Amino acid sequence: MANLNNAASQAIAKEQILFMAEKEMEYRVELFNKLTQTCFRKCAEKSYKDSELNMAENSCIDKCVSKYWQVTNLVGQLLGTNQPPM
């Protein structure tokens, strides 16, 4: 009977781990999508003349991403997670 309870406990623990991993992946995908949309909207020119970003757009995106991560980390620390999102 003890082995049955132990096996059930392990199965529940595995399910919880998988659930948490799925939630973490969803969070990271959402964070990445928000970062991409925000920085692209802010930095990329609306008239698409070239197939690549110019130097000013690249610089803006670099700064935007850096600031976005800094703020995300700060918010995480303020909320008590003490872990950066990545």
Rg (CA), the chain: 21
Using CB atoms within 10 A of its CB, is residue 50 exposed (0-12), middle (13-18) or buried (19+)?
exposed
**Whole-number percent of the chain with pLDDT over 70:** 88
Burial label, 39 (beta-carbon count in 10 A; 0-12, 13-18, 19+): buried
DSSP state of 80: T
Q: What is the pLDDT of residues 8-37, one digit of tens each?
A: 778 888 899 999 999 999 989 999 999 999
